[in-house]
Every structure is written in structure tokens, then in C-alpha cells.
């Protein structure tokens, strides 16, 4: 087969996600809800496979890492200690013409003016004033904005009767990692871990993003896969480099092409951080952007929680009796962004000889939502259907399989190509004689004849 690969755009990927049941717009029958998406039947399989790979790499294959699943709701003081109540905000300005709000830091960045995260509202206002005439409202095109105001990203909720009394607002998690800090002491007290050790968790987070955009890239409900590695103070440099390398290798293990990944160091560090890097992926249409943050956070998180809770969070070395607050090295990956990177990397349109095209998701076998598609050659031959059913049932005990007896074989192959199924198995009249099947390989479209027993290995 001679093929040529065509360029793809993010719109192509969004369209395939919808058409083939990977991702649907949230609350679609009500006209949709900005920044929310639902994973469909194939999407949830792919998402779960990514999570499984991440969990194996970060918990099961690492002797000194353990897993956690903490409650989403937390004591309201957690978000004060973490700094989210006071400082988790985006600077916004409202268009006087249409009331659309823009992210001032992003708009300034787009015209080459760097807005520092640490800038006060007054400083941002004066910087914005200098460049007002260069910034247009992305909704109506006017250049008439009000003052810049900090807009808190935490999503408030009500739990118990706290909010009724107006005393203790509860928040949905702004980031998933706080549960790890809250349970650090429990884990040290109840398991065999000793510093240095890591805790891993996949958890939901909610952010009142003012302009959710770019499909799964910036959503209001998201999932983060986090690891927090607890080390002795000042013993952070070497493990930090090892963690960066380990994360890089994990992306490669998913089959993501190395040329589509890069590291980017943060220019402006928050005051407590000693180093911070992002892993970026080269998204179609959007270009390189962050999928994961790797942060060297010193003792900030545990010190804050010790201060706000009044509980001693010092670690006592069991051998030397040395007492200290561990420093933390964090990795935080957005599941949705990773899903989008995996889809983007796998999405391929091939121009075949004769002008035809084939869309194929070249997903790593471990990530593919369906491993085997089983086809009886003809659906009106009961003996073929019966034999194919048997093959399907046997394979289903071990692998995720799909049954398809609809339409001609070529069309069935194309459908499986679009959802990334690595193997299609055809049961024909020879199968009835010798228990062999035709197996067709997704990426090469090559077919071979093999024994049914060999499929199960």
C-alpha cells in the first residue's frame, strides 16, 4: 500500500471525537454548557486506559510510591491555607460595549507584553492602560474596556448548612493535589513509606475559567493526575531531574512522538518554588502548550497546612531521629489535555492510491478502546455467525472486543480504523474447517491467516 499522510486540524479531531463517540459537548440537548464535555463510549475506554498506564507507571512500578483517593470536598480552611481563597484569580476586564470579559494577562501576552503573575491589580491596570488601544474585544471588536479586576477561579458550593448561615463557604477542589498534603501524616503513620517517598492521585478539579476554549484544553471541570514526592530539605535537585526524565519517558511509552513534546521552564516562579517546568505538546492548530507542570515546591504546602491546622506535620527520621518538614516535588498532568495529545498524535489521514483517503487512529495498542473487532464474513450464514460468536466470546474474556456484522468488510475495517482498533478478525468458511481466521492489522492494513488459539496469547 502506498500512502501519503495529510495535515490535520483540531477541527478534524473534534469532529471525529463527536462522530465516533469519544467526546460529546456537555449538556448538548440543552444547547450545551461552556467548558464542559462528556466522554462517550470509546472516549471513556481510552481515558481509562491512559489512567491505567499512568497508575501502573506511578504507583505499581515504583516501590516507594503509594496511591490515594481523597474526598473532593474539604474543610474550607484547606483553600485558605493553599492560597486559593486569596490568590487563585485571573485578571479580567469587561468590554463596555458587549460585557464580554477578557483575560488581561493573556491579551497582553498576545501582543508581546509580559504580565507578571505577581503583579498587583493597580500595576496591571497601569500596564493595561498603556496598551488599551492595541487590544480588541474578541466578541464585538470594540476597544473599550473597564478596569482590570481579579476574578477568583474557585467554584463555590453548599454542603451541609455552612453556606445557608453565610459563614463557611465550601469549595469544589481548585486542584487535586491538596488531598495528598492533608493525608501525608496519615500515610506516614499507617504505611511503611519513609522519606523519600511519593503519593499519587487522580482527582477532579473545578475552575471558573472565564474563557473555556480549545476543546478539552481549557475546561471548567477537569481531572488531574498528580504525584507529590516528599524529600529531605535541600535534597531536591537530583530527584527533580529524575522525575522530569521519568515523565518524559512515560509520554513516549504512550506512543507520543518525541518531536511533538518539549520542556519549557517557567520564567516567573511563585515565591516559594525553587524550579518549575512544563511539559508541552504540539497540538494541531494551537501549537505547543502545557499538558503537565513539574514543580519544585520546597516546604510551602506542608508548612501552610501546619500553620492553618495547628497540627505538627514534621517528619521524624526513624533512624537518625532528625525532624523536618519534607520538601515536595510535584507533577500535575491534566487528563483532558493528555487525552487530546494522545488523540492528536494518533489521528492520521492517509491518501491512498487511486485518490481515496483513510482516517486512522494509530493509538498505542494498550490505549486503544477496542483491541479486537470480530466479523463474521456474512451475516446470513448461521454457521459463520455461530462460529464468530464463539470467537468473540472467548476473546472478550481477555480483551475489549467489538462485534460487527454490518455492511461489507471494507466498510467495517474503515469504521474500526477510525476508532483505532489494532486488529480485525474475520471468520469465514475456512475457519469452520481449520480454526484459522484472517487477522487484519490496522496500521499496515496487512492481512494474515492465524490460528484462533494464537489470538488469545
Residue closer to ligand ATP, measured from CB, 220 or 412: 220
CB of 341: closest distance to ligand ATP in angstroms? 10
Dihedral angle over CA of 335, 340, 343, 346, nearest 10 = -100
Residue closer to ligand ATP, measured from CB, 206 or 347: 206
Residue closer to ligand ATP, measured from CB, 177 or 439: 177
**How far apart (Å, rounded) are the C-alpha atoms in residues 296 and 242?**
12
Provide the grid cell at 272: 516559594
CB of 89: closest distance to ligand ATP in angstroms? 11
Residue closer to ligand ATP, measured from CB, 248 or 423: 248
CB of 334: closest distance to ligand ATP in angstroms? 2
Bridge partner residues of 448 (DSSP)? 439
Whether the Cβ atoms of residue 281 and residue 337 lie closer than 8 Å to each other: yes
**How far apart (Å, rounded) are the C-alpha atoms in residues 2 and 6?**
13
Rule CB under 6 A: which residues touch ligand ATP? 175, 207, 209, 218-219, 222, 224, 290-293, 332-334, 336-337
Residue closer to ligand ATP, measured from CB, 82 or 421: 82
Q: Identify the helix (H) or strand (E) that includes residue 152.
A: strand 145-152
Could you tell me which residues come within 8 angstroms of residue 439 by beta carbon, excluding any fewer than 6 positions away? Answer: 423, 424, 425, 426, 447, 448, 449, 450, 455
First to last CA, the chain: 28
CB of 53: closest distance to ligand ATP in angstroms? 16
SS3 185: helix
Residue closer to ligand ATP, measured from CB, 175 or 402: 175
Residue closer to ligand ATP, measured from CB, 278 or 351: 278
CB of 280: closest distance to ligand ATP in angstroms? 9
Residue closer to ligand ATP, measured from CB, 207 or 364: 207
**How far apart (Å, rounded) are the C-alpha atoms in residues 332 and 199?**
12
Q: Which residue has the cell 504507583?
A: 59
The alpha carbon dihedral of 221, 176, 297, 264 has a sign of negative
CB of 251: closest distance to ligand ATP in angstroms? 12
Residue closer to ligand ATP, measured from CB, 337 or 387: 337
CB of 140: closest distance to ligand ATP in angstroms? 24
Q: Which residue has the cell 481466521?
A: 437
CB of 373: closest distance to ligand ATP in angstroms? 32
CB of 82: closest distance to ligand ATP in angstroms? 11
Angle of the 237-253 helix axis to the 41-55 helix axis, nearest 10: 140
* Burial of residue 346 (number of CB atoms within 10 Å: 0-12, 13-18, 19+): buried
Residue closer to ligand ATP, measured from CB, 226 or 404: 226
CB of 46: closest distance to ligand ATP in angstroms? 16
Residue nearest to ligand ATP (CB): 334
Give which of 156, 199, 209, 201 is closest to 176, Cα–Cα.
Answer: 201
Whether the Cβ atoms of residue 121 and residue 145 lie closer than 8 Å to each other: no
**How far apart (Å, rounded) are the C-alpha atoms in residues 301 and 329?**
11
**How far apart (Å, rounded) are the C-alpha atoms in residues 177 and 227?**
8
Amino acid at each position: 500500500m502506498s500512502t501519503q499522510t495529510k495535515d490535520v486540524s483540531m477541527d478534524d479531531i473534534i469532529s471525529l471525537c463527536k462522530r465516533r463517540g469519544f467526546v460529546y459537548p456537555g449538556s448538548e440537548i440543552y444547547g450545551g454548557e461552556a467548558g464542559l464535555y462528556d466522554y462517550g463510549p470509546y472516549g471513556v475506554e481510552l481515558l481509562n486506559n491512559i489512567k491505567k498506564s499512568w497508575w501502573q507507571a506511578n504507583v505499581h512500578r515504583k516501590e516507594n510510591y503509594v496511591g490515594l483517593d481523597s474526598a473532593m470536598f474539604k474543610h474550607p480552611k484547606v483553600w485558605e491555607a493553599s492560597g486559593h481563597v486569596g490568590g487563585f484569580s485571573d485578571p479580567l476586564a469587561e468590554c463596555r460595549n458587549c460585557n464580554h470579559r477578557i483575560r488581561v494577562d493573556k491579551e497582553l501576552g498576545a501582543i508581546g507584553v509580559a504580565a507578571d503573575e505577581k503583579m498587583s491589580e493597580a500595576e496591571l491596570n497601569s500596564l493595561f492602560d498603556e496598551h488599551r488601544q492595541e487590544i480588541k474585544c474578541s466578541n464585538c471588536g470594540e476597544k473599550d474596556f473597564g478596569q482590570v479586576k481579579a476574578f477568583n477561579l474557585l467554584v463555590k458550593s453548599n454542603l451541609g448548612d455552612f453556606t445557608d448561615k453565610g459563614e463557611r463557604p465550601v469549595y469544589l477542589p481548585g486542584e487535586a493535589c491538596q488531598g495528598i498534603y492533608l493525608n501525608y501524616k496519615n500515610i506516614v503513620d499507617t504505611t511503611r513509606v519513609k522519606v523519600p517517598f511519593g503519593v499519587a492521585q487522580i482527582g477532579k478539579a473545578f475552575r471558573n475559567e472565564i474563557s473555556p476554549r480549545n476543546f478539552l484544553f481549557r475546561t471548567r471541570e477537569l481531572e488531574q493526575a498528580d504525584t507529590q514526592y516528599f524529600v529531605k530539605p535541600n535534597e531536591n535537585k537530583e530527584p527533580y531531574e529524575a522525575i522530569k526524565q521519568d515523565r518524559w519517558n512515560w509520554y513516549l511509552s504512550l506512543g507520543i512522538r518525541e518531536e511533538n513534546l518539549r520542556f519549557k521552564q517557567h520564567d516567573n516562579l511563585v515565591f516559594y518554588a525553587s524550579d518549575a517546568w512544563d511539559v508541552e505538546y504540539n497540538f494541531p492548530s494551537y501549537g505547543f502548550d502545557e499538558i503537565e507542570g513539574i514543580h519544585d515546591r520546597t516546604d510551602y504546602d506542608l508548612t501552610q497546612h501546619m500553620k492553618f491546622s495547628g497540627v505538627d506535620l514534621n517528619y521524624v527520621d526513624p533512624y537518625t531521629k532528625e525532624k523536618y518538614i519534607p520538601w515536595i516535588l510535584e507533577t500535575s498532568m491534566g487528563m483532558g489535555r493528555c487525552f487530546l495529545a494522545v488523540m492528536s498524535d494518533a489521528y492520521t489521514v492517509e491518501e491512498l492510491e487511486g485518490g481515496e483517503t483513510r482516517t486512522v487512529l494509530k493509538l498505542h495498542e494498550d490505549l486503544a478502546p477496542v483491541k479486537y473487532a470480530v466479523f463474521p464474513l456474512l451475516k446470513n450464514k448461521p454457521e459463520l455467525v455461530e462460529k464468530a460468536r464463539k470467537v468473540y466470546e472467548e476473546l472478550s474474556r481477555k480483551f475489549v472486543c467489538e462485534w460487527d456484522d454490518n455492511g461489507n468488510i471494507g466498510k467495517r475495517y474503515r469504521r474500526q480504523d477510525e476508532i483505532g482498533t489494532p486488529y480485525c478478525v474475520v471468520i469465514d468458511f475456512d475457519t469452520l474447517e481449520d480454526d484459522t481466521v484472517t487477522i487484519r492489522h490496522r496500521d499496515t492494513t496487512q492481512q494474515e491467516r492465524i490460528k484462533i488459539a494464537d489470538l488469545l496469547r
